[in-house]
């Protein structure tokens, strides 16, 4: 069964450092998403991506964040200068349609900013 | 600004009994809802969805009911099994204005514990 994969599973970084979180969406999906979950809080939308551009982003997704699909399989989230409050689980998701269709989530990357 | 709300943080049920998880939403323009299950250290896993043209959708042990007049949906699990113990989220692909761009807005989640 196809699945979304994410690497690394856990990333520890120092405040102010850049991190890149990687995702491989399901191969025939066209819509890609990043979400995050801070410990004890609900899952929050960060950004959606379609046709090589951002289709929507949340208030959380400021200038420190960027996304890229550098090739036909990977989808990355970059945080340029991490802050303590960026510590969270980051989930990548993909779907075959934008509406009325489930999104499939990866296992997540736990980001710890020290 | 909670557009999708799960007011019960936890639910404890005996194995074999019914589990009922509830979710409320604020915007009557929301027309599609999903339930996800999440185990610790894993990503959310899709369970079942419902469109507003229906008031019920069933898949095996899982049934979702939608009450549009009350802006309420519920997930029924019958019979409950210990392996169902997880966090359950309801979600809708709409923002507060009712326009959908595919992003999911999640409820806070309900921790279900099924005791053997």
Q: Which residues of B touch A4 (CB under 8 A)?
A: 43
Backbone angles phi, psi at B30, to 5 degrees: -65, 130
**Looking at beta carbons, which residues of chain B come within 8 Å of A102?**
34, 46, 49
Task: Among A65-74, A86-95, A102-111, B18-27, name the one with the lowest average pLDDT.
Answer: A65-74
Q: Which residues contact A88 (CB under 8 A, 6 or more apart)?
A: A36, A37, A38, A39, A110, A111
Could you tell me the pLDDT band of residue B95, with boundaries at 50, 70 and 90? low
User: What is the number of other CB atoms lying within 10 angstroms of the CB of residue B73?
Assistant: 25
Q: How far is CA B5 from CA A101, B106, B107, B110, in A?
A: 21, 8, 5, 10
Residue B1: pLDDT over 60: no
Does any CB of chain A come closer than 8 Å to the CB of residue B44?
A: yes
Interchain pair B42, A108: CB under 8 A: yes
- Is the model more confident about A13 or about B94? A13
From the list B26, B3, B111, the residue with the least C-alpha distance to A44 is B3
Q: Are B90 and B71 in contact (CB under 8 A)?
A: no
In tens, the pLDDT along B70-87 reads: 999 999 999 999 999 999
* Whether residue A100 has pLDDT greater than 90: no
For A83-111, the DSSP string reads -GGG-EEEEEEEESSSSSSPPEE---EEE
Q: Per-residue pLDDT tens for A18-63? A: 999 999 999 989 899 999 999 888 999 999 998 889 988 999 999 9
Which tokens is A32 given?
Answer: 């890609």
B19 class by beta-carbon count within 10 Å (0-12 exposed, 13-18 middle, 19+ buried): buried
Is the pLDDT at B96 greater than 60? The verdict is no
Report d(CA B80, CA B78) in Å as an integer. Answer: 5
Scan residues 81-110 of B and list those with Cβ closer than 8 Å to A.
89, 91, 93, 100-109
């Amino acid at each position: 069964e196809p699945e979304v994969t994410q690497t690394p599973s856990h990333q520890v970084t120092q405040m102010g450092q850049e991190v890149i979180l990687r995702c491989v969406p399901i191969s025939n999906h066209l819509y890609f998403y990043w979400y995050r979950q801070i410990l004890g809080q609900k899952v929050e939308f960060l950004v959606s991506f379609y046709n090589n551009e951002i289709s929507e982003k949340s208030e959380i997704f400021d200038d420190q964040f960027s996304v890229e699909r550098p090739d036909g399989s990977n989808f990355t989230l970059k945080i340029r200068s991490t802050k303590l409050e960026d510590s969270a689980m980051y989930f990548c998701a993909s779907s075959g349609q934008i509406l009325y269709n489930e999104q499939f989530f990866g296992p997540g990357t736990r980001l710890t900013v020290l | 600004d909670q557009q999708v709300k799960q007011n019960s943080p936890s639910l404890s049920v005996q194995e074999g009994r019914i589990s009922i998880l509830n979710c409320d939403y604020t915007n009557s323009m929301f027309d599609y809802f999903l339930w996800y299950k999440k185990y610790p250290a894993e990503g959310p896993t899709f369970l079942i969805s419902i469109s507003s043209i229906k008031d019920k959708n069933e898949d095996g042990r899982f049934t979702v009911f939608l009450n549009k007049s009350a802006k309420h949906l519920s997930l029924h699990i019958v019979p409950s099994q210990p392996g169902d113990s997880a966090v359950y989220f309801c979600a809708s692909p709409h923002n507060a204005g009712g326009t959908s761009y595919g992003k999911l807005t999640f409820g806070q989640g309900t921790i279900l514990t099924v005791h053997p």
